[in-house]
Amino acid sequence: MAIATPPTPAAAQRMDRLEVMWQSRPGVLGWLTTTDHKRIGLLYFWTTLVLFGAGGVEALLIRTQLAQPNEHVVSPETYDQLFTMHGITMIFFFIIPMTTGAFGNYLIPLMIGARDMAFPRMNALSFWIFLASALFIYTSLFMGSAPNAGWFDYVPLASKEFNPGRNIDFYALGIIFNSISSTLTAGQFIVTIFKSRAPGMSFNRMPLFCFAFLAASFGLLFALPALSADTIFLFLDRNVHTHFFDPSHGGSVLLWQHLFWIFGHPEVYILIVPAFGIATSIIPAFTQRKVVAFPLVAVAELLVVFVGFGVWAHHMYAVGMSTISMVFFAAGTAMVVIPSTIQVFAWCMSFVTGTARFKTPLLFIAGFIFMFVTGGLTGIMFVAIPFDQQVTDTYFIVAHFHYIIFGAAVFPIFGGMYYWFPKVTGKLYYELPGQISFWILFVGTNLLFFPMHIVGLLGMTRRVSTYPDGLGWTAYNLAETIGGFVTLAGILLLLGNLFYSYLRAPAAGPDPWHGPTLEWTTSSPPPDYDYAVIPRVSSAYPNWDPVDREFDRRNLADGVLVLERGHEQPAVTPVDARFDEIVQMPHESPWPPILALALSLVFLMLVIGRYGVAGIMGIFCLLALAGWHSTEPQEQ
Amino acid sequence: MNAPRRDRLCAVLLLAVVLPLAGCREKQSSLAPKSHQARDIASLFWWMMGGAWLGLALVVGLLFWSWKRRNRRGFRDDTEGPKPGEQASWYVVVGLGIAMPIAVISTLFVISDLFVIKTTQAPAATATKMTVEVIGHQWWWEVRYPGTPAVTANEVHIPVRTPVRIVATTADVIHSFWVPQLNRKIDTIPGRRNAIELYADAPGRYRGACAEFCGLQHAHMDLYIFAEPEDAFRKWLEDESQPAAAPSGDAAAEGARVFQDGSCSSCHAIRGTDANSDVGPDLTHVGSRTTLAAVTIPNGDSSLRDWIIDNQHIKPGNQMPDIRLPSSQLDALVAYLENLK
C-alpha cells in the first residue's frame, strides 16, 4: 500500500507488532504447517500445475494413438487407463483445485478485504487431503492398474465381474478421498464469503468473482454427496457383495448413472462458474468500466448452478427413458441457457461500451467468450432430444465439452494467471510473448477440438482406442493431433514466459492495471496479513473509490483499525456486512498434514482390502484430531 | 480480434463437412441419412447449425466491434459514474440475453421434442410387422429373428422400406446399438429391453457401431445392416433358419471333426450338429458373412485362418483364445467353416 503520510510512532509500533503476529515460519516447515491462504493457494497452484502436466501427457498420448487409423502406440488396456485418468485428472485434480484451491484461496480473502479464510487450518487440511488423494490415484497408474472404465465409470463394466482388478477400487476410493477435500473447501468458501468480508462490503457490493465462487461452492456442497453415495455403493458392491447396481438381485445399473450425473452435470457448471468469476474480474480492469448489468450477472452466476441441478438426465437420453421424462430434462436444459446468454451479452457489451485494451488477459477472455459461445451453441443443440440421441457418445460430444472445459474453464485460468501474476509475484510479465502464447493456444485448441464436431457427425464414437480407415475420419484426426501439439507449444510458451518474467521482468507495483477490486490496493506480493488496516468498502469496485482509499491511508498513518493484538480479523453480518465481532484466527499447525497422512493410510489399507488395519489407521486419525483440538488458537 | 479471418477459416471447415467425401468406400455418417428418421435428425442439425453460426457471428461481431473501438477514450480516464451506452447495454442484455434465447429455444424445443421425437421414439411392440433381437456381447453382436431358428452375428438383414423393430438387450455390460444412417442410437441395459425402429429407404449395406464404452475392444464392435428387397430378405431368412449343411468332401469332414472334438464347440454353436454353446457367435452360416469379429477383418480363407491362430493379436483381449492346431487340422477346419454358407 502506498503510504502517503509517514505513520505516527504509535502506528509504526502497531505495524511492527502486526508483522510479528502474522509472520510465517521460515523454511520447509513453514510451508508444511502453514495456514496462510496465499501459501495454501500457491501449494494448490503448483500441485495442480503438475497434475495438469500429467493430464496433458495423457491427452497427447491419446491423440498420438489416434493420429492415424489402426495405430498401435499404446495397447487398448493402456488406452482405456489413459483416457480415464485424463478425465479424472483434468476434472478432479486440475480444474476444480486450480480454480477453487489456487485462485479462490489466494484471491477470495484479498478481494473481500480479509486476512485469511474463515477456517485456516481446515483450509490447510483440505490441501493436504487433496495432495494425498492425487498421489493415491496416481499410485494406481504406476502400478499399472489405473481406473479403466472412464471417468463416468458405468456399471456393470466397473463391477467386480467385468473388472476384477484393483483399478476401480482406486477410482471409488480416490474419488471419495478427493471429495472430502472439495467439501472442506466448499464449506470454507461459503463461510468466508458470508462472514469475513470487510465491513461495508454488503452483498450487492461483493465482487462478481465472489458470487461465482459462492455459486460453485454451493454447487459442490450439494452435488458431491450424490457422487460420494454412488462411489460408496460401488465400493460396497465390489467388495462386500451388496447389490445396489446388480439387476439380478433387484439393483439397477441406471442408479449409478442417475447418481453420477446428478453430481456430474452440476459439476460442469462448478468447473466453469469460477472461470466466469475470473472473466468478470479481468473485464472491468481491461475495459475500465463496471460490468454491464451487474445485478443480472450476479444472479445469473447463482442461477446457472441452481438450474444446473435439473438437467442431469440429458446425459442419458439413449438409455431408453420414457419420452415424458426426457422432455422434462430437455426443458431444464433449455432453461439453463438463459443465465449463460445473459452473462455472454453482459461481457460483450462491457467490451463494447468500455475502453477495451486487448492485453494478454483480455485476449484470453475474448478467446474464452468465443470458445464458450461455440460450446454453448452446440450445448443448446442437446435440447433437441433426437439429435442428442444421434450424437451422444460420439466425438461431437467430445468437441462440445472440450470447448466448454478447455475453452471456457481453462482459457480464463490462463488469462487469470497473467492477470494476477503481478499481484502474486510482484513482477510484470512480458506482453508480446504473452499475446503470442494466446494466439498459439487459440489456433491450437480450435484445430484440436473443432474437427471433433465433424468426425462425430461422420459417426466416430467416443472412447475408441483406434478406428478404421476409409470412413472419412483420418484427415480430421490427424489435424486434431497436430492441434494438440500446437496447444502444448502454447502452454509451454505461456509457462516459459511467466517463469522468465518472474526472474527478469521489472517490478509491477501494487496496481499495474488500475484494477477495480481490493487486492490491487495492497502491495504485490501482499504481506502475510494482506491488509494493514481493515479497508473501507462502499461499492463493488473499491479500488476505484479514491475517497475510501484515502480514508484507509489516513487510518494507516494513524494506526487505526490495525487489529494487531492477536491473529485477528473482523467478522460481519452475512448480508449487510455490518461489523459483528473480532475473530481470533488460528495460527499455523502441524496437525492438518498429519491428519491427511493418517487418512491416506486408511484409504491405502482399504484399497488393498485390509479393513482391520484401516480401522487401526482410523484410530490414528482420531488421535490426530485430538492433537489438533488440544492446540486451538494460541492467544498471545 | 481477427474476426473476418476466423470466419473464413470456419467457412472452409464447414465446407469440409458439406462436401461429399470423395474416396470413401462406405459411411457411418449421421449426415448421409437413408431413412426418414435419420433425415429428420440431419435436417434438424443443419437448421441448428445455421442458427449456431448466426449466434456465433453475433458474438464475434460484438467482440470485433469492441476491438475497432479499443483504446478509444484513452486508458485510465473516467472509471467513475455511468458510462455512455449503459442504458443501451441493458436493452441488449435483456433483449439478446433473455428474450431472444427464450424465443429461439422454445421453438427448437417444440419442433424437436414434440414433433421430430415422434418419428425417432421406440416403436410399440405391435407397430411393426417384424422384430429382430440384437444382443450385445463383449465385443460382438448376436442377432436373432424371433419365430425362426435363425441366429447370426454382427450382420442384421432387414427388408427394405419396411419398419423393423429392433429389440436391443445385452448379455453382459452396457452397449449401444447405433446405425447413424438409419436412426439414432439406443443403449442395451442389463435387465431392460429397449427398442428402436430401423427403416431403410434403399437396399444397401449400412455400417453401425457400439457407441457406449464397453471395455477393451469397444473399438472393434461394429456391425452391418443389410437392407434387401422383400424377396431376397425372405430367401436369406429361410436359408439362415436352416441347420448347417453336412460337410462335403474329406477336408470339410475332417474339419467338422476337429470342430466338434476340439475346443471350438465348447463356445460356439453350429445348428444341426452337437455344438450348441452360446458363449461365442453362432457359426451355422459363418461362411456367408462378410466380416469376422464384428467388422474387424474381412471374412475369407486366409483371414479366418489368421483369426483362429492369432486372434489375440488381431483383437487383443477378445474372449477367444488363440487356437494351436497342426496345420493339416487347421486347413480342414477353415475349409469346413468357409463352406458353412
Q: Which residues of A touch B316 (CB under 8 A)?
A: 75-77
B209 Cβ under 8 Å from any chain A Cβ: yes
* pLDDT bracket for residue A629 (50, 70, 90): confident
- In terms of Cβ atoms closer than 10 Å to its own Cβ (0-12, 13-18, 19+), residue B74 is exposed
* pLDDT bracket for residue B88 (50, 70, 90): confident
Q: Which residues of A touch B186 (CB under 8 A)?
A: 318, 320, 389
- Residues A175-202 pLDDT 10s: 999 999 999 999 999 999 999 999 999 9
* pLDDT bracket for residue B75 (50, 70, 90): very low
- Residues A71-117 pLDDT 10s: 999 999 999 999 999 999 999 999 999 999 999 999 999 999 999 99
B180 Cβ under 8 Å from any chain A Cβ: yes
Secondary structure class of A484 (helix, strand, coil): helix
Least confident of A249-258, A439-448, B12-21: B12-21
Q: Which residues of A touch B62 (CB under 8 A)?
A: 345, 348-349, 351-352
In the predicted structure, residue A504 carries a pLDDT above the cut 60: yes
Least confident of A19-28, A124-133, A328-337, B299-308: A19-28
DSSP strand pairing (B164-170 vs B130-137): parallel
Candidate from A253, A386, A461 with C-beta closest to B189:
A253
The residue type at A404: I
Taking CA atoms, what residue in B is nearest to A396?
B30
B184–A318: do the CB atoms touch at under 8 Å? yes
What is the pLDDT at residue B18?
47
What is the pLDDT at residue A5?
63
Residues B248/B234, Cβ–Cβ less than 8 Å: no
B67 Cβ under 8 Å from any chain A Cβ: yes
Dihedral of CA atoms A457, A461, A466, A471 in degrees, nearest 10, equals: -30
In the predicted structure, residue A589 carries a pLDDT above the cut 60: yes
A470–B25: do the CB atoms touch at under 8 Å? yes
Candidate from B70, B85, B186 with C-beta closest to A356:
B70
In sequence order, what are the residues at sequence separation of 6 or more whose Cβ sits closer than 8 angstroms to the Cβ of residue A449? A398, A399, A402, A403, A406, A407, A480, A483
Average pLDDT for residues B115-134, to the nearest whole number? 90
| Strands laid side by side in the B204-210 sheet | B155-159, B222-228, B204-210, B175-178, B186-188
Taking CA atoms, what residue in A is nearest to B21?
A472
B319 Cβ under 8 Å from any chain A Cβ: no
Calculate what percentage of chain B has a pLDDT beyond 90: 79
Taking CA atoms, what residue in A is nearest to B296?
A468
User: From CA B251, how far away is CA A471, in angstroms rounded?
Assistant: 38
A435 Cβ under 8 Å from any chain B Cβ: no
In the predicted structure, residue A3 carries a pLDDT above the cut 80: no
What is the pLDDT at residue B12?
54
Taking CA atoms, what residue in B is nearest to A450?
B13
What ipTM goes with this model? 0.92
Q: Which residues of B touch A295 (CB under 8 A)?
A: none
Beta strands in A80-239 (DSSP E): none
> What single DSSP character describes residue B216?
T
What is the pLDDT at residue B82?
58
DSSP strand pairing (B164-170 vs B175-178): unpaired
What is the pLDDT at residue A436?
98
- Residues B193-234 pLDDT 10s: 999 999 999 999 999 999 999 999 999 999 999 999 999 999
- Residues B34-46 pLDDT 10s: 999 999 999 999 9
Handedness of CA B53, A375, B71, A542 (dihedral sign): positive
A76–B216: do the CB atoms touch at under 8 Å? yes
A232 Cβ under 8 Å from any chain B Cβ: no
Task: Supply φ then ψ for residue A108, to 5 degrees.
Answer: -55, -50
Candidate from A357, A369, A460 with C-beta closest to B59:
A369
What is the pLDDT at residue B76?
45
* pLDDT bracket for residue B23 (50, 70, 90): very low
- Residues A436-480 pLDDT 10s: 999 999 999 999 999 999 999 999 999 999 999 999 999 999 999
What is the pLDDT at residue A534?
92
Work out the widest C-alpha separation in chain B, in whole angstroms.
99
**Which residues, in sequence order, are bridge partners of residue B276?**
B269
CB atoms within 10 A of CB B194: 21
User: From CA A3, how far away is CA A113, in angstroms rounded?
Assistant: 18
Taking CA atoms, what residue in A is nearest to B110?
A384
A383–B112: do the CB atoms touch at under 8 Å? yes
A462–B213: do the CB atoms touch at under 8 Å? yes
B112 Cβ under 8 Å from any chain A Cβ: yes
Say what the pTM is: 0.94
**What's the half-sphere exposure (Cβ side, CA atoms, 13 Å) at B182?**
32
